[in-house]
Amino acid sequence: MIRVVYGRTTGDGRRYIVRGYRLEDRRRVRHICCETGLLGRPQEAWFEGRAEFADMFSSYYTDHEPECALVSVVNHRVEAYLLGCLDSKIQKRVFNRKILPGITMRMFNPKWWLRPVNRSFLRAMRLSRKRKELKIPEQEIFDKYPAHLHINIADPGLRGQGIGQAMMQAYFEILRTAAVPGVHLGTTSHNRTAVRFYKNMGFEVLVERRLTCYDHVIDDPPVYLLYFGKRL
C-alpha cells in the first residue's frame, strides 16, 4: 500500500495529499493528460482527439500498471498525477500489442485525419521521424534506467509548490522497494520549469536532440528533445 504524503502549498496554503491511483481517478487523469499535452498546455492546437491522446499517454499506466500510478488531491479533486512503470520493455510490448492498434485504427478514420490540425500533426511527425529526431539509444536507456514516468499538474498555480517533489519521492520509494536500479523520462527544452525541476531531483541529461514536430504550433522554436535518467 502506497503511503500517503501530506504537504502544504507555499502560495495559498491549500493542503494536498499524494496517494495511490484509484479506478475512480481515471477520467480526471485523462483530462489532465489532455490539458497539459502540448508542452504543458491543452493539446488541441497540436492534436485533435482527446480519447486517442489520452489512450496514447495514460491508458497503459491506469489500466495495466496502476500500482505504479500516483495522484495529488487538492480540495478533494485530483489536480496532478505521476504515471510510471517498473520495466519499460514490458510497457512498450503491452502498449504495442494492446493499445496502439486501437489508436491507429481510429486515426485512419477520415473523420480524424482529415482535420487540418491532425494533418499538420501527421506531416510534422513524419518529417521528425524521417530526420531521425525521435531516435534514441532505447536499449541502452532501458537497461540502465528500466523504469520511466510521466508527471503533470493541471493548475499552473500549483506548479512549483512541492506537489511534484512529493509525488517523485513517493514513486522513488516504489522503485527502490522493487529493486529497480534507475528511472528515465522524456521531455523537451520548452518545458523550462520542468527541466529545472528534474535536474533538482537528481536527473541527468541522457539525450538532447533538435525536435521540429512542434515548430508549427509554438512561437519560440527551436525545441530540443530531452531524455533524463536517474540512478536509484
Question: Is 187:195 a contact under the CB 8 Å cutoff?
Answer: yes
- Collect all residues with Cβ–Cβ distance below 8 Å to 40 and sequence separation of at least 6: 152, 156, 191, 194
Number of C-beta neighbours around residue 29 at 10 A: 22
- Collect all residues with Cβ–Cβ distance below 8 Å to 18 and sequence separation of at least 6: 4, 5, 7, 70, 71, 72, 73, 163, 166, 167, 170
Compute the average pLDDT of residues 141-148.
98
Q: What's the CATH number where 102 sits?
A: 3.40.630.30
| Closest C-alpha to 91, from 69, 108, 72 | 69
Question: Is 151:82 a contact under the CB 8 Å cutoff?
Answer: yes
Q: Dihedrals φ, ψ of 132, to 5°?
A: 60, 30
Compute the average pLDDT of residues 9-29.
87
Question: Is 177:77 a contact under the CB 8 Å cutoff?
Answer: no
At 173-212, the pLDDT tens digits run: 999 999 999 999 999 999 999 999 999 999 999 999 999 9
Res. 10 pLDDT band, cuts 50 70 90: very low
Grid coordinates in use for 49? 482527439
**CA 208 from centre of chain:** 17
Q: Is the whole-model pTM more than 0.85?
A: yes
At 75-131, the pLDDT tens digits run: 899 999 999 999 999 999 999 999 999 999 999 899 998 999 999 999 999 999 999
The answer on pLDDT for 58 being more than 80 is yes
- Domain assignment of residue 114, given as a range: 5-231
pLDDT at 11: 63
pLDDT at 2: 58
Grid coordinates in use for 129? 521521424
The answer on pLDDT for 53 being more than 70 is yes
Q: Which residues of 74-91 are buried (b: 16+ CB within 10 A; e: fewer)?
A: beeebbbbbbbbbebeeb
CA–CA gap between residue 172 and residue 174 (Å, rounded): 5
Sign of the alpha-carbon dihedral angle for 93, 97, 103, 107: positive
Query: Helix H segments across the chain?
Result: 26-35, 50-54, 60-63, 88-94, 100-107, 110-113, 116-130, 138-144, 163-177, 192-200
Q: How many domains are there within the chain?
A: 1
Burial of 167 (0-12, 13-18, 19+ CB in 10 A): buried
| Closest C-alpha to 191, from 147, 148, 230, 160 | 160
